[in-house]
Amino acid sequence: MFTLKIAFRFIFSKKSQSLLILIGFAIGIAVNIFVGSIIRGVESNLINTTIGASPHITITPIENQTYIEGWEDILNVINKNKDLKVVLPVLEERVFITNINPESPDDVIIRGMELDKGNEIYNYYDSDRFYGNPPNSINEVIIGKELAIDLEVNISDTITLQKNPNSEEQGTNLIISGIFDLGVSGLNSIWLLSEFNIANQILNTSSQINGIYIQVNDIFLADVIADEIELTLNNQNIMITNWKKENTQLLTALNAQEQSSSIIQFFVLMSVVIAIASVLSITVIQKSKQIGILKAMGLTNQMSARVFLFQGLLYSFFGTLLGLALGSILVELFNRYSNVPFQSTLHGDLIIITTIAAILFSVIASLIPAKNSSKMEIIDIIRNY
Amino acid sequence: MSNTIELLNITKDYGKSIPVKVLKDISIKFEKGSLNAIIGQSGSGKSTLLNIMGLLDKPTSGSIYLDGKKINDFNNKHQSRLRNENIGFIFQFHYLLPEWNVWENILMPLRIRKDNITDKMKDRAKMIMEAVGITDIAKEKIQEISGGQQQRTAIARALITNPKIILADEPTGNLDSINSDAVYNLIKSLNEEFNTTFIIITHDERLAKKTNRIIELEDGIIKSDTLL
Ligand SMILES: Nc1ncnc2c1ncn2[C@@H]1O[C@H](COP(=O)(O)OP(=O)(O)OP(=O)(O)O)[C@@H](O)[C@H]1O
Ligand SMILES: [Mg+2]
């Protein structure tokens, strides 16, 4: 396409002017990418600290029921959902440790579950924060850090658990195989984790559960997915809730933050787009002789408009490429050298949206200079040479 | 002999409240393959007439025929194509494009028509460059060649499409007399060789006498029309 070649020549014929606008455009895009990434970083940091190591969707029995009836069928249905990352059936119940302080037994919560799967949600086996070994499924258990301190027990000590401390029945003896630290003392001082069958044994139940904890792939879709599950299960005996329902304030704050950054990004984008439009308007005047001569030789008005649309396209395309590179470098440098407690993350969708918006707006902005060039009359140019 | 271009009752006015009549009812025909000169005082309307003929400017009234077809009512796009295929321009200033080199400038009208340049076109370009004597400056930049070479390049560009007519507005106005003579001799030989119709505006009676026909304009009318 010859008009594209003309556009290239016009750009290359004013090297420093073209370079300046290219750099200006790239800086705008880079700032855009950088701000967007920081905001995303702050956001995911906030979300992570709030809900990172916790379920996104929980299913529990309705109030007057103790267990989830027909949970195997429910799991079968849920497991077909492709949006879920972890599905964890859990049996948890208050029990008492009777052998440490026999006069006033300590109440704790035993949580029986497939521990390897549970670790995917709670991350208690994290090597920095876990001491000892994962428990076997015969007679071992792991307990929270604060609880271990309170009870003054250590790894390989034995604890006796009883559902009802006043009953005459024998408690169950378990050996502490490890101590975990979830970073939340409320949980560390009360939780006792074991394999599923051990909890069942202590609580005298036969394969019952009273909770299904779910993590989804896209946490922002948790509410949608929860609704979807509710609809497909259509079960009156269970309650489904999700993190969004319980963190509305956080979400409002995040929303406000996101909006203000969008506004900033929008105006940054607008200013570089306007810069392109104004440079092109100047170019139309700088190149008016050439346009007149080309038109005399048969260049049509549409072709001359295309020359300037292509220039807008070229500037924005290469400016965006350069800006993306620059932005990624900024993000990388920020992550490496700043000491804020979060990483800024460069997301694909941010890159795609920025690229499309930048190029689209630039081409739209080039319409004005393009129109001006198409309206130029040959005779006016030839006469005033 | 048949006519290539023909003007019928062409007028051109400038200004709205007090119109200045620059061309007053001009009718004239040009024969195919002829070599014509237009002379006249400054301001007599020579350039205006030539620009109207080349569809660079619009007449206030009147018609322009090319090979018997009325062309001044064509739309912009159609007129652009018509200019590209049938009319070559040479101006007092070379009007070459500084962003492209000599070779690229010469091929420009073909590129505008259709981007891919065939070997046949290249051969033609080389042949024309040879004819106007600029073969060895093909790769030079426009700003770095002499005025005479620039004008020869402009002539080569006008010839590249093998147009029916070449319109030249004081093509030697910026050249010294030796170069002017050379350009006129060149035009004369090209006219004979390619059978292209030339219409040339000049101030210089001596140069005008090298053509076949001299048309003199005065105040927007044809004062005299002499075949040599
Ligand atoms: N755009 C315009 N507006 C008003 N008057 C114009 C315009 N263009 C040309 N004229 C007038 O029309 C007249 C003819 O101009 P033109 O350029 O055709 O003359 P010319 O014969 O080519 O003169 P020269 O030998 O100096 O080139 C002049 O009086 C000029 O002032
Ligand atoms: Mg003139």
The answer to whether ipTM exceeds 0.90 is: yes
> Which ligand lies nearest to the CA atom of residue B48 in the structure?
1
Q: Where are the beta strands (DSSP E) in A49-157?
A: 57-61, 84-97, 106-112, 130-132, 140-144
Ligand 1 touching residue B44 (CB < 6 A): yes
Option in B77, B98, B112 nearest A294 (CB): B112
Q: Nearest C-alpha of chain B: how many angstroms from A17?
A: 15
> Which ligand lies nearest to the CA atom of residue B40 in the structure?
1
Option in B93, B100, B113 nearest A298 (CB): B113
SS (H, E, C) B106-129: HHHHHHHHCCCCCHHHHHHHHHHH
Band of residue B183 on the pLDDT scale cut at 50, 70, 90: confident
Average pLDDT over residues B143-156: 92
- Cα–Cα distance, B41 to B49 (Å, whole number): 14
- Cα–Cα distance, A287 to A282 (Å, whole number): 9
Option in B80, B89, B157 nearest A300 (CB): B80
A196-255 tens-digit pLDDT: 999 988 888 888 899 999 999 888 889 999 999 999 999 899 999 998 888 888 888 888
Q: Going by CA atoms, what residue is nearest to atom 22 of ligand 1? A: B47
Band of residue A385 on the pLDDT scale cut at 50, 70, 90: low
Give every CB contact of residue A232 below 8 A, 6+ residues apart in sequence.
A77
Give every CB contact of residue B212 below 8 A, 6+ residues apart in sequence.
B34, B35, B36, B227, B228
CA-nearest residue to B101 within chain A is: A9
Q: Is the pLDDT of residue B12 over 60?
A: yes
Ligand 1 site-directed mutation target among B12, B13, B14, most atoms within 8 Å of CB: B14
In this complex, do B109 and A298 lie within 8 Å of one another by their Cβ atoms?
yes
User: Hey, which residues does A192 pair with through a beta bridge?
Assistant: A110, A143
Distance B211 CA to ligand 1 centre (A): 24
Ligand 1 site-directed mutation target among A377, A379, A382, A383, most atoms within 8 Å of CB: A383
A83-112 tens-digit pLDDT: 999 999 999 999 999 888 888 888 999 999
Residue A165 has a pLDDT of: 79
Pairing of strands A172-180, A106-112: unpaired
CA-nearest residue to B59 within chain A is: A379
φ/ψ of A257, rounded to 5, equals -65, -45
Q: Is the pLDDT of residue B18 over 60?
A: yes
- For residue A302, the chain B residues in CB contact (below 8 A) are 77
Distance B14 CA to ligand 1 centre (A): 9
Whether this model's pTM surpasses 0.80: no
Band of residue B182 on the pLDDT scale cut at 50, 70, 90: confident
